[in-house]
Structure 1
Amino acid sequence: MLLFFTLGLFVHFVFFVSIFDIYFTSPLVHGMTPQFTSLPPPARRLVLFVADGLRADALYELDENGNSRAPFIRNIIMHEGSWGISHTHVPTESRPGHVALIAGFYEDVSAVAKGWKENPVEFDSLFNESKYTWSWGSPDILPMFAKGASGDHVYTYSYNAQREDFGAHDATKLDTWVFDNVKEFFHAARNNQSLFSKINEEKIVFFLHLLGIDTNGHAHRPSSREYKDNIKIVDDGVKEIVSMFKHFYRNDSHGAGHPSETLTPLVTWGAGIKYPQKVSAQHFDDEFLKEWGLEEWKRRDVNQADIAPLMASLIGVPFPLNSVGILPMDYLNNTDLFKAESIFTNAVQMLEQFKVKMTQKKETTLPFLFTPFKLLSGSKQMNILRKARSYIEQGEFDEAISLCKELIHLALKGLSYYHTYDRFFLATNVVLGFVGWTVYASLLIIKSCSNLTRCVNKVKKPSHLLPCFVAIGILIAFFLLIQGCPWTYYVYCLLPVPIWYAVLKEFQVIQDLIASILAFPLSHFVGYLLVFILGIEVLVLSFFYRYMLTAGLTAFAVWPFLNQLWTRAKITSLSWTFFCLLLAVFPLMPVVGRKPDISLVMGAGLLVLLLSLFVLTSLLKRKTSFGKAEILVHLLQMINTVLSMYVVYSTHNSLFKKQGLPLMNQIVSWATLASSLVVPLLSSPVLFWRLFSILLSLMSTYLLLSTGYEALFPLVLSCLMFIWIYMEQETLQQSGIFSKQKLTSIQFSYNTDITQFRQLYLDDVRRAFFLVFFLVTAFFGTGNIASINSFDLASVYCFLTVFSPFMMGALMMWKILIPFVLVMCAFEAVQLTTQLSSKSLFLIVLVLSDIMALQFFFLIKDCGSWLDIGTSISHYVIVMSMAIFLVFLNGLAQLLTTKKLNLCGKPKSHLL
């Protein structure tokens, strides 16, 4: 069995990783020739202001008094420059946003493995193409554009990372630090001839990264006074820096404001940029113009990656080699010749990438299998370029621009075509392996855990089966070898071979299964199949629509009344119905992180204390043989709950007063987290008391990680889990399989002999389905994919406030896992009380999750909005993670429920 689970873990890991080779390989290619416009650029230098975390509505809208929060920038919009919306892609992390802005392409998710700080693949950027770049700001952003830059011409000035403290008294200091250091830099340049000479060169860039707004947004939320006041501080700082530049250079310069959310503001002004243009009417999909009072000023929207070629054209440097941005012509205030030459350069730069990508793919594909991108053949490339050049020479600039845009769009399609060239081939192999594994796991369940098969071991296996599959494997390996495929391709293509060999070895089991199905009444079989499919589809739909969990839980609520459990256990059935309906409320509520309410966290803690007191009082009244050590552990956990409530309350107050995170609160929080998996091991191994101890311990940690109503979720979920254990006991007692035992007399035991457990029944599939449904509910009960993608950092403020992506991410992951652990511990109890081996139910759960994962694999999108694409892939990753981490969670649940640590002396009997 250990070998099977090890192989299963490996297989699921391969399926999980395959998604990155199929959908998330880096789009970058290298070896292109830099392209730039030979005409004189309109600007000598460029100043780039990036207000990280600034939202378009926050900048453009008027306050309650009808005044702008950024009067200087609004004055620019109305009198000096052009403005619009920059449409970003997900993820809306700072790093990929800045890569799109400065390098002109949308970075793949492989960068997340390095915390969005290191370059997984080296890339070209505007800074690298400049003669000199000076940058000030965050140590998380600036170094990634300096690393890998050719020569020594990108200079960075960063503050200490400890300044990025979400609990700091005044996060605006991150911005004022930048403004102050820029002013000091120019003051020093007046007395430094070498530096003075450099900053008076052409093709130079000044980059000011302003992180204060983003930090205040995380700490206090974008609707807070701190966030909005920070916008005014940035506006004042930009005004002061612009004034300093004008005074220093005795002329105007170019600037751009930019941040990192789905709709982000873009304001440009200076040399080469169009002046404000009044319009009588303009139409956009959104209705923001009227809200912002800017309906008469022409709005020019762009994609985030389009800003890089715009900046490059303004100062006359080569377009970033990997840029997929299209030059936004509507922003340029220059001659038609300059515009035509610039877009021509943009087209050639894009075509260079296409050629390199095509050459790479052609070299790694057999000639008779290679299918070129037909819409952009070599002759068509030359045709378009020749016509465009001819139009420019003849002064027909509109026609030239139109042709160049056509070439750019074709090149982008071609890049996508060759980037996804192997997708169908790889996906087919992964699906073959996926289906084979699911079939094999199902056959293993039928063979080892049920009575559907007869005398399987006596059947002679076909002797020709192994040589055939060995030959197939050799042919596949040879095919991949002559094409020079990466080693991962061997794994994806060869893995289905042994899996299907294992399936076909069990052909006698398949025959017995078919015979059993044919002997089963057709109406019953169709009915069970429809219910099974409906259940799976409800689970799949719940990933898209959280309210489907509410529908499922409502259906669960009437379950006791459908199988006559109501007549045997009225109180238990009513409790089941009540807690199912209570839990069904959570998926209908807004996702966590939008409106914090510490009073709800305090209320959840109070309910835990009241429940603990009730249980402790019941123990003492019954005068059981419950040991003193267990009572001490129980009291310790109650004290820990009180401490957690205090830490949450005092931390919230301290941060509200901008006094930072108290050290003692931080110590208590980490101590609570560290002890949460140890303290339950000190409690009695009796089923009820051990489960209750696990709940108390994990709830203390969950309270520290909560900001609102989600603090109540594990408590309601655990109550339902306790009732579930009782319900399953009643179900088996009703069927006459065994007599009911009290949960206060059953003990968890690590050495339980699973050979004594019974075989599977059809009702056990329903138990496995319940587990999968409760696991999905544990994940989506208080959130969704979007909320997880942009989780609320306020949840971890009891532990740390200084920005640390890995540590904060790990804490948030543990918060997500706590409800999972509670469900898995309850599942351990269900297995024990229903006398069913973990092997049997675990295999059914794996099959169910794999069927879901296979559906999500087909639902993955590679077109449409990036949010849709990212969400579809996240669904697959989550289900695959559930299958993979089920092994881990099962082991953790066994550890928490079966192990016993003694405070002192020898272990005592804990039977009640």
Structure 2
Amino acid sequence: MSVRWLKDGKKTLWSLIQCLMKVNILGVGEVQIFCLCLPKDFFRSAQNNQTLLSKLNENKIVLFLHLLGLDTNGHAHRPSSREYKLNVKRVDEGVKEIVSILEDFYGNDGHTAFVFTSDHGMTDWGSHGAGHPSETLTPLVAWGAGVGYSQRTASQYFEDDFLKEWKLENWKRLDVNQADVAPLMASLIGIPFPLNSVGTLPLEYLNSSDLYKSECILTNAVQILEQFKVKMAQKKETTLSFLFTPFKLLSESRQLDILKRVRFFISQQKYDEAITLSKTLISLALEGLSYYHTYDRIFLGISVVLGFMGWTSYVILIIIKMHTNLTRAIQNTDQVSTTFFSYGFATAGVLIIIFLIIQTSPWMYYVYCLLPLPVWYAVVTEFKTIQDLLTFLSACPLGHSIGFFFLFAVGIEILVFSFFYRSTLTIALIAFAGWPLMHRWIQGMNGLKMITLSWTLLCSLLAIFPMMPVVGRESDITPVTGAGLLTLLLSFFSLVPFWNQKSKHIQGKYLTVLLLQMLNLTLSIYIVHSTHASLGQKMGLPLINQIVSWTTLAFSLVVPLLSPTRVFQRLLSIFVSLMSTYLLLSTGYEALFPLVLSCLMFVWINIEQETLQYSGNSFKQKLSSIDFSCSTDITQFRQLSVDDIRRSFFFVFFIVTAFFGTGNIASINSFDPASVYCFLTVFSPFVMGALMMWKILIPFVLVMCAFETVQITVQLSSKSLFLIVLVISDIMALHFFFLVKDYGSWLDIGTSISHYVIVMSMTIFLMLLSGLAQVLTTKKIKFWRRTKHHAT
């Protein structure tokens, strides 16, 4: 028996068994596969079913058993739980029983091979998908007909300590790739290798003659070589002869030479040399396959880059033309130049189409290659705007221009690095903490204000969260309680002015709404404690807790619409309502995150108003008197200034912080199911995923509502805002385009693609969030109507 081990002191080897295959080795005929759900019933029914019995006694029968329960149990209860260990014990007993049933059914004929393996492992906190050895290393246990025996060894070295922990240091460990299991099974059955298999036959697992092994590995090499030749022929047919560059390491002459030498070695019974040369051919063929799979990558990459650069340039020109004072008021269009550009780009488009038709390229190639043309045409037709921009830049001091572009580039890189290293956000927040102090020093303002100190303190507090662990931590309800009590305390202090004097803007019915929200917040704190206590005692989720949780979630976006639309009151109502839901979805320190973030957003609003006043654009309304529903169309207030680029960057940075502050891509892929236990405990990936997505969106909504206020406070055009955000996101997307991977773990590949997709869709996502924020801030539901009494 040949074994591949997977370390985990809290699991047994059988806990990772996923499938069972039974094969009749001898004989010929087509392979028949049976997927088993209830093996005992299946074989019992075969005794009374002559048709099924005859099929099961044919040659080359494959029985497939999928043990899914361990995967579900590991996610729900974690591998160290009592439930999981009992499940492992039950699987152990079941596997032993199934093997006995198979041996009895076939009368111990010695023609049966067993292969146990798994598609992935699992971490101690019940997740998988990343590149950790506990997730990527899986067991491969094989025995029976055609399978070799384990071999003892004096010493062997591996980077992991799995052998030592399993006390198997003296048994030879034979590691293979997951793709190698398919040719292994095909060799045991005695059938051709799967057509598109890219696995290499692990000869060490076979108990057969050297001749059979050398013939099998040669067949394996020829099978992969044929894939290489087909792929090369396809690419050669669709590429102009003078542009085609073949894979030089495996020319046709070298293919023939290697195959000839392998067959010669086999005929001379030099099997070791034949096997070594066949593996070399397999390695070269796989490398060539990868070469032709990515043959057009550079060509398509250049097209994509040109499209990005053209689109970003066009957006920048539109911002300068429509939202700044850098261009001349009236720009006459040069018809001669426009006509020249039109014919030039049209000719280029025709040539590209002819080129792609000759190469019989897929239709997507036309999109990639032709899309940059209209974009760059739109850029060059704005040549007068380009002239105005160049004139403005030439008039600016060189040091100022270089400093601005340097800071902008550094800011973009901070955003990009934060997708990979959350600690980057910590460094940036610490730097942001000193921004108001630096700004006051540059503006020549004296003294410190409480709002400036508050910004510094809150930035420092928020900087702690990206340093905290995301996955693999135990639930701790204490921070959840603390976050709830602090929110209640802030809400209580916000009510003090209403107890001291009657407000003209807040009536008693709206005060009642806020008090009810505070009561609901208190109830959420209790539900979290009650639910986790009940689950800890194995009593399940109380029905009343589940009802209250879902009710809180359903009304979290409705209740704020009952509050007044004045800035402070509406923002407070939104925060308290969303905080109630966030507490129900929290299991630890992350419950404090929206509290600190919301306080920082409120301070940001005040600082931006103060900054605008010192820039000479004083806003007449005080912050406390601004009404969302009565705000004027801000597009008519003023044009963009350089400081608005900083505001847009702050906005994007806070959006990124809202996502990565307490999580990352991995935390979505391997989230803690305990986060949704106040809503449901039955494993339901779609419902759980939806709840986790809403938890992630709540900080986004808080940031967007704050920025809706900033737009009004600083008289900022929302249209120009999204154009600036579009520029930032496009530059980031271009960066992530070069970082997309097609190799590695699920997490490596998925994360690189997710980064690119997230940044590409950022503007659309923010526009949708802006729409939601506008509804939350400007709309109002009225259940009470004042009755007017007319004198008679």
The TM-score with structure 1 as length reference comes to: 0.78
Identical aligned residues as a percent: 64
Matches within 5 A, 1:493-572: 493-564=369-440, 567=446, 570-572=449-451
CA distance in 2, matches of 1:291, 1:829: 58
Matched residue, 2:51? 194
CA distance in 1, matches of 2:360, 2:535: 57
1:204–1:640 distance in 2 versus 1, CA, 3 Å: farther
1:751–1:720 distance in 2 versus 1, CA, 3 Å: closer
The aligned amino acid for 2:341 is L
Picking from 777, 782, 788, the partner of 2:657 is: 777
1:660 Cα deviation after fit: 4.5
Does residue 540 of structure 2 align to residue 640 of structure 1? no
Matched residue, 1:247? 104
CA distance in 1, matches of 2:528, 2:72: 20
C-alpha contact 2:224 2:286 (8 A) present in aligned 1? yes
Picking from 218, 223, 226, the partner of 1:344 is: 218
CA distance in 2, matches of 1:629, 1:357: 73
Matched residue, 2:25? none
What's the C-alpha RMSD, in Å, of the aligned pairs?
2.9
Matched residue, 1:713? 593
Deviations 1:474-512 (A, max 9, x none): 322333334333332222222211111111111111111
Matched residue, 1:131? 31
SS at match of 1:811: helix
SS at match of 2:420: coil
Deviations 1:603-661 (A, max 9, x none): 32232223223323443334213123322332332233234334433443444444544
Where in structure 1 are there 5+ consecutive unaligned residues? 1-41, 43-47, 75-84, 87-93, 103-128, 137-156, 158-180
1:396 Cα deviation after fit: 1.5
Matches within 5 A, 1:213-362: 213-251=70-108, 253=112, 254-260=114-120, 261-362=135-236
Picking from 759, 764, 767, the partner of 2:639 is: 759
SS at match of 1:269: strand
SS at match of 2:159: coil
Higher-Rg member (1/2): 2
Moved more, 682-691 or 809-818: 809-818
Matched residue, 1:417? 291
CA distance in 2, matches of 1:592, 1:616: 38
CA distance in 2, matches of 1:201, 1:265: 30
1:582 Cα deviation after fit: 0.4
SS at match of 2:33: strand
Does residue 481 of structure 2 align to residue 619 of structure 1? no
Deviations 1:400-439 (A, max 9, x none): 2112212211221222122212222221111111111111
Matches within 5 A, 1:680-719: 680-719=560-599
Matched residue, 1:818? 698
Higher relative contact order (CA 8 A, sep 6+): 1
Matches within 5 A, 1:43-54: none
The aligned amino acid for 1:614 is F
CA distance in 2, matches of 1:863, 1:131: 32
C-alpha contact 1:729 1:740 (8 A) present in aligned 2? no
SS at match of 2:733: helix
C-alpha contact 1:750 1:899 (8 A) present in aligned 2? no
Picking from 349, 364, 379, the partner of 2:238 is: 364
C-alpha contact 1:375 1:410 (8 A) present in aligned 2? yes
1:478–1:676 distance in 2 versus 1, CA, 3 Å: farther
Moved more, 206-215 or 358-367: 358-367
Where in structure 2 are there 5+ consecutive unaligned residues? 22-28, 121-134
Matched residue, 1:602? 481
CA distance in 2, matches of 1:329, 1:630: 77
Picking from 360, 367, 382, the partner of 1:491 is: 367
Picking from 756, 760, 765, the partner of 1:876 is: 756
Deviations 1:748-793 (A, max 9, x none): 1387323422111211111111111111111111122333332333
SS at match of 1:563: helix
Matched residue, 1:722? 602
SS at match of 1:900: coil
CA distance in 2, matches of 1:874, 1:303: 26
Does residue 6 of structure 2 align to residue 56 of structure 1? yes
C-alpha contact 1:218 1:794 (8 A) present in aligned 2? no
Deviations 1:558-590 (A, max 9, x none): 112111177466110111011100000001111
The aligned amino acid for 2:238 is T
Picking from 432, 442, 449, the partner of 2:323 is: 449
CA distance in 2, matches of 1:351, 1:711: 56
Moved more, 294-303 or 375-384: 375-384
The aligned amino acid for 1:57 is K
C-alpha contact 1:259 1:265 (8 A) present in aligned 2? no
CA distance in 1, matches of 2:657, 2:69: 37
CA distance in 2, matches of 1:220, 1:849: 39
The aligned amino acid for 1:517 is L
CA distance in 2, matches of 1:478, 1:856: 31
Moved more, 595-604 or 707-716: 595-604
SS at match of 1:57: coil
1:845 Cα deviation after fit: 1.6
Deviations 1:699-753 (A, max 9, x none): 2222232222112111111111111101101111122310464332101138732
The aligned amino acid for 1:391 is F
CA distance in 2, matches of 1:900, 1:843: 29
CA distance in 1, matches of 2:139, 2:491: 52
1:318 Cα deviation after fit: 2.8
CA distance in 1, matches of 2:621, 2:223: 75
Q: How many pairs does the alignment contain? A: 758
1:883 Cα deviation after fit: 3.0
The aligned amino acid for 2:625 is S
The aligned amino acid for 2:676 is V
C-alpha contact 2:510 2:564 (8 A) present in aligned 1? yes
Moved more, 407-416 or 383-392: 383-392
The aligned amino acid for 1:182 is P
1:592–1:579 distance in 2 versus 1, CA, 3 Å: farther
C-alpha contact 2:541 2:678 (8 A) present in aligned 1? yes
The aligned amino acid for 2:32 is Y
CA distance in 2, matches of 1:598, 1:339: 60
C-alpha contact 1:592 1:710 (8 A) present in aligned 2? no
Matched residue, 2:344? 468
Matched residue, 1:845? 725
Does residue 256 of structure 2 align to residue 382 of structure 1? yes
Deviations 1:335-372 (A, max 9, x none): 11121122122222212322332333333334443333
Picking from 558, 562, 570, the partner of 1:678 is: 558
Does residue 775 of structure 2 align to residue 895 of structure 1? yes
CA distance in 1, matches of 2:693, 2:683: 16
